[in-house]
Structure 1
Amino acid sequence: MLGLTSVSVFLFSALALAVTSGYSFGAVTLLLASTCLLWKRPRLNLQRRDYLLLGTLLLYFCVFTANMLYHADPARELDIPLRALLAAPVMLLLLAYPPRAAAWWGGLAVGAIGGAALASWQLLMLDMPRPQAATSNAIHYGNVSILLGMLCLCGLGWARTSSYRLVWISLLLAGGVAGILGSIISGSRGGWLALPVCGCVFSFYYSKGRSIYYLGALMTALVAVSISAYMLPDSPVPQRVKAALEDIKEFKDNDNATTSIGQRMEMWRTAWVLSDEHIWLGMGRSGYLAAKQTLAEGGKMDASVKDYTNAHNDYLDALVKRGIIGVLALLALFLVPLALFARALRHGPGNARPFALAGVVLCTCYMIFGLTTNSLTLNIGIIMLVFPMVILWAMLRQQERIA
């Protein structure tokens, strides 16, 4: 069983971006394997922290589902919160049969490199303006690519103490660079916001107990990466930044909601206005779309955004559809695991800290992604949050047991 969980965890990340729905192969295998718990009944020795994480996943599912039923939304809406529920038995399986650490870190690096290679081919050979690798759109590709890259860099602490140290350090560094490169060529500006935040997290973590010069070197490296991304020949970064500034100016001066940024700001404004009418329970997906149609017909909202099914912001989308209760459930999904991983990062044994750091980065990235898009409305979005979350937690707990 340990071999099966290790292979599944490797495939989960390794195929995430280079194969269509590649993340599903490992996730489905883990879910099917979790049925063995019904007859094997291994001792799990669950702690209060484990119950807290499981409870958070179940809370998100229950709040989302109850709201969907209350508003009589289409049954297909259940597809997203169901992923959070299905992550719970996978977490129990991995606590009983934790995968090998090398399978996790190796899968991340292969996934980031494979995704960047495919996106580069789409850019250079197919002349795609917004490469998306094997995903459904460039935004989600860019976000997941930079996420895999940042998670690779979390593994450097593990690599320093592993066998074949230089090989693992080189592989994880290559994965980190590939993840950032994939995000850059995708042109997904929202994901770029995660780079300086994660850079600060890495700087303070890796400089802990070292001199101020070490911290300065890490911060200098972060600035150098950012400048290089901006100055590279044919880099989409300056064009995308310039376009964003022009879109914001157009929306501010002329209320132009036909641009990319203008449409987002119009959707945010509309969601905020509509949320006042149903502040506690929201108005559901169907009610939200109907209200947008009414506003568009009355000239109170730009018609160019009336057919979008979400607010392009996780927090505002939860507020307008599920009210304050929905926002609290969403924040719990981000903040409870973040607090658990952060506590392990501060007080856990040294061998568990790379996994704790990765958990912190995972939750932080998703909180940032949700500012400019609905990161949890597609399968790749919700799966790449909850499954890495339980994988990392299970491996963290394993490292604590053997410390």
Structure 2
Amino acid sequence: MSATLPLESRRCFSLAASLSAFLFYALCFVLPSGYSYGAGLVLLASVWFFISNKTVSGLSVEDKRLALVLGGTFLVALAAFLGHGNKPKTLDQVSRCLLLIPVLFFLIKIPPRVGYLWSGVAVGGITAACIAAWQKFGLGIERPSGFMTSAIPFGDLSLVTAFLCLGGLLWERPTDGRAMNNLKFAMLLCGFLCGIFASFVSGTRGGWLAVPLVLVLFCTSLLPKMAVRQKITGVLIVLVGLGGTFGVLRDDLYARYDTTVTELQQYVEGDRSATSIGLRLEAWSVAAAHIAQRPILGWGHEEYINSVEALTQEGEIGRSVGGLSNTHNNYLEVWLHQGVFGLAMLIALYSLPFFYFCKRLGSDRRNVMALAISGASVVASFAVFSLTQVILGRNNGVIFYLLSVALLWGCMRNEEGRVWSDGDPKGGLITGIDELPS
């Protein structure tokens, strides 16, 4: 906390950060652009914080490096924008990296109360499942998308919310003899199961690739420290979640699996653009061919569109590929339009926070470890999602990723440097604002 701010101001900023964290996750699925309310509130709070405080002190080398990566990501995109003469809209999503820098510093100095964060995550997972079930079984929509642009981001963000709920369960499991809060545990467990359900209902195949990686993160962090009874309980929770969802959606999952196999076979046999997978693979092939021509600086957006259109007219590629809005691969998309420098910044945007979170996975403080696992899971998931979609090219994807990393990082850094007791003054559900230390 900043020593230059009076106590009442710090309490107001803490409340703003806490409400932002809750609203960000709680409204993410229940309203169109629901994520923007919490994001907007924390941005306004951070601006007002720096107007009031004027300076930022006490930042670690890690904090500064994360900010440098955010700023570098924007500057590389800006250079590509100027060099290629792109339209201003190409800077839309990446501008969030620049806006996150003051938010990141604000959340490091005044993080949200973690109970608000976990409460929002639990509510987000539950509402995602409610909306998915309503659209699937009530409206007959084959692949529910909630209030998002498509089923893909809805399914992916639901899955990440489930992972966050699983991290919250670690926080809420006391290790000092205190009784477990059954309401908090039940909410987070329900949020985890509901998030898994919503993801599966959406039929988002690419997102499921993140499940094994995240399970490895949890297992390598927790299993060496857990008693046999705790290991069995944890495995049962995961199996119940996956098994229950599979039982409800068995026919749909089998159908998606059969479709995947069929589309791959069609692609191998030469039908390269008539299916979803075929279109993706063909789009990747076309993008890779263009990248090979200009690997350093890349192609302008309009220039690339014109080149693809020319190839379409010549019959070199199918017309369906030319109609795609992007390459459906975040790594190829950035390399294609920002060159190797853009690709390097995207990799850094994933690898640096992932490395810093993973450094804390073996922490003896369970609260730090819970936040570290949650943060690493978010980063790992988005890195996997980026293989099959341009998830950071959507407002919902880029804002969810960036703000989740900032929220979890701020909370984790605060836990590492806490000077008050371990009596959980910040870990409850929303019951009011506790007195902050002076």
Q: TM-score, normalised by structure 2?
A: 0.88
| Contact 2:162–2:195 (CA under 8 A) maintained in structure 1 | yes
| Contact 1:230–1:238 (CA under 8 A) maintained in structure 2 | no
* CA 195–13 in structure 1, closer or farther in 2 if over 3 Å, else same: same
User: Counterpart of 2:92 in 1: which secondary structure?
Assistant: helix
Give distance in 2, aligned partners of 1:202 and 1:365.
Answer: 13
Give distance in 2, aligned partners of 1:213 and 1:330.
Answer: 41
Listed one character per residue, the Cα deviations across residues 284-336 of structure 1 (whole Å, up to 9, x for unaligned) are 22222112111111111111110223110111111222221111111000000
Give distance in 2, aligned partners of 1:298 and 1:228.
Answer: 51
Listed one character per residue, the Cα deviations across residues 43-83 of structure 1 (whole Å, up to 9, x for unaligned) are 54111011011111111111112112111111011111111
Residue 67 in structure 1 maps to residue 80 in structure 2: yes
Q: Which residue of 1 aligns with 2:113?
A: 100
User: Counterpart of 1:112 in 2: which secondary structure?
Assistant: helix
Give distance in 2, aligned partners of 1:394 and 1:42.
Answer: 18
Residue 4 in structure 1 maps to residue 20 in structure 2: no
Structure 2 counterpart of 1:71, which letter? H
Q: Which residue of 1 aligns with 2:281?
A: 265
- Gaps in structure 1 of 5+ consecutive residues: none
Give distance in 1, aligned partners of 2:237 and 2:261.
Answer: 26
Give distance in 2, aligned partners of 1:95 and 1:233.
Answer: 41
Alignment of 1:190-269 (within 5 A): 190-210=206-226, 218=234, 222=238, 225-226=241-242, 228-232=244-248, 235-269=251-285
Q: Using the TM superposition, give the Cα deviation of residue 222 of structure 1 relative to its aligned residue in structure 2, in angstroms.
A: 4.6
The match for 1:35 among 44, 47, 67 is 47
The match for 1:282 among 292, 298, 317 is 298
Q: Which residue of 1 aligns with 2:127?
A: 114
Q: Using the TM superposition, give the Cα deviation of residue 22 of structure 1 relative to its aligned residue in structure 2, in angstroms.
A: 0.5
User: Counterpart of 2:387 in 1: which secondary structure?
Assistant: coil
Listed one character per residue, the Cα deviations across residues 116-138 of structure 1 (whole Å, up to 9, x for unaligned) are 10111011111111101111110
With a CA cutoff of 8 Å and minimum separation of 6, indicate the structure with the bigger relative contact order: 2
Structure 1 counterpart of 2:388, which letter? T
Q: Which residue of 2 aligns with 1:336?
A: 352
Q: Using the TM superposition, give the Cα deviation of residue 349 of structure 1 relative to its aligned residue in structure 2, in angstroms.
A: 3.6
* CA 163–398 in structure 1, closer or farther in 2 if over 3 Å, else same: farther
Q: Which residue of 2 aligns with 1:22?
A: 34
Counting matched residue pairs gives 403
| Contact 2:56–2:105 (CA under 8 A) maintained in structure 1 | no
- Higher deviation after alignment, 161-170 or 358-367: 161-170
Give distance in 1, aligned partners of 2:32 and 2:333.
Answer: 27
User: Counterpart of 2:399 in 1: which secondary structure?
Assistant: helix
| Contact 1:199–1:222 (CA under 8 A) maintained in structure 2 | no
Q: Which residue of 2 aligns with 1:51?
A: 64
* Higher radius of gyration, 1 or 2: 2
Q: Which residue of 1 aligns with 2:422?
A: none
Structure 2 counterpart of 1:141, which letter? F
User: Counterpart of 1:376 in 2: which secondary structure?
Assistant: helix
User: Counterpart of 1:193 in 2: which secondary structure?
Assistant: helix
User: Counterpart of 1:372 in 2: which secondary structure?
Assistant: coil
| Contact 1:80–1:376 (CA under 8 A) maintained in structure 2 | yes
Give distance in 1, aligned partners of 2:147 and 2:367.
Answer: 34
Q: Which has the higher helix share?
A: 1
- Higher deviation after alignment, 89-98 or 142-151: 89-98
Residue 141 in structure 1 maps to residue 157 in structure 2: no
The root-mean-square deviation of aligned C-alpha atoms, in Å, is: 2.0
* CA 267–90 in structure 1, closer or farther in 2 if over 3 Å, else same: same
Residue 126 in structure 1 maps to residue 142 in structure 2: no
Q: Which residue of 2 aligns with 1:186?
A: 202
* CA 96–222 in structure 1, closer or farther in 2 if over 3 Å, else same: closer
Alignment of 1:269-348 (within 5 A): 269-347=285-363
Q: Using the TM superposition, give the Cα deviation of residue 163 of structure 1 relative to its aligned residue in structure 2, in angstroms.
A: 7.3
Give distance in 1, aligned partners of 2:228 and 2:110.
Answer: 41
Q: TM-score, normalised by structure 1?
A: 0.95
* CA 235–182 in structure 1, closer or farther in 2 if over 3 Å, else same: farther
User: Counterpart of 1:155 in 2: which secondary structure?
Assistant: helix
| Contact 2:221–2:362 (CA under 8 A) maintained in structure 1 | no
Give distance in 1, aligned partners of 2:228 and 2:138.
Answer: 45
| Contact 1:200–1:219 (CA under 8 A) maintained in structure 2 | no
- Higher deviation after alignment, 317-326 or 372-381: 317-326
- Gaps in structure 2 of 5+ consecutive residues: 1-12, 420-438
* CA 103–66 in structure 1, closer or farther in 2 if over 3 Å, else same: same
Q: Using the TM superposition, give the Cα deviation of residue 260 of structure 1 relative to its aligned residue in structure 2, in angstroms.
A: 0.8
